[in-house]
Amino acid sequence: MSDDLSYKIKEELVNIRFRRHQLLIICGVNCNKIIKDITRELAIPCVNLSLKLSEELLEVPVTQRSRKVSQLVDKLVFDCTGEIVCFEHIELLFHPQLQQDPMRILENISRNKVILVSWNGHYVNGKLIYAEPDHPEYRVYNELEASVITVDQAEG
């Protein structure tokens, strides 16, 4: 990871604490490696959101799962110690059967704790994009209550 990128992420993790939503999204092809490096260096707990959420949802009847997702993500954040929590592998939030607005969930949980998110998508012209237009999980967010740092493909 470049020193400039590392510095930029660390600086944003400090500055974001003064905002209503303390959400920092690291976006790009190589974001997982960079997230791992930063969380290891700063001792930030890193949660595989899809894995933890799927484990919790197994106990919930299928008809009630869409109503429980937000509450279960809140619990995951609450259970993490420290001032910052990192979520990687957020794919399950986008599953059409769960009928969620992933960005709203992330913004809501970032009101009380700094949330660092590994976003396996694109950030182009002020738009945060997940999946491709013909994919059922496709989402575009152009009004964000979050900071976004894009990782170039050359990084990592």
What's the pLDDT score for residue 3? 80
Contact 2, 119 (CB under 8 A): no
Q: pLDDT tens digits for 53-98? A: 999 999 999 999 999 999 999 999 999 988 999 999 999 999 999 9
CATH number belonging to the domain at 3-150, selected among 1.10.287, 3.40.50, 2.40.320, 2.40.128: 3.40.50
pLDDT tens track for 121-138: 999 999 999 999 999 999
Residue 73 pairs with which residues in a beta bridge?
A: none
Average pLDDT of the segment spanning 27-35: 85
**Average of per-residue pLDDT values in the chain:** 92
Give pLDDT, residue 1: 53
The residues pairing with 139 across neighbouring beta strands, listed in sequence order, are 130
Every domain of the chain and the residues it spans: 3-150
Query: Residue 156 pLDDT more than 60?
Result: no
* CA separation for the pair 102, 95 (Å, rounded): 10
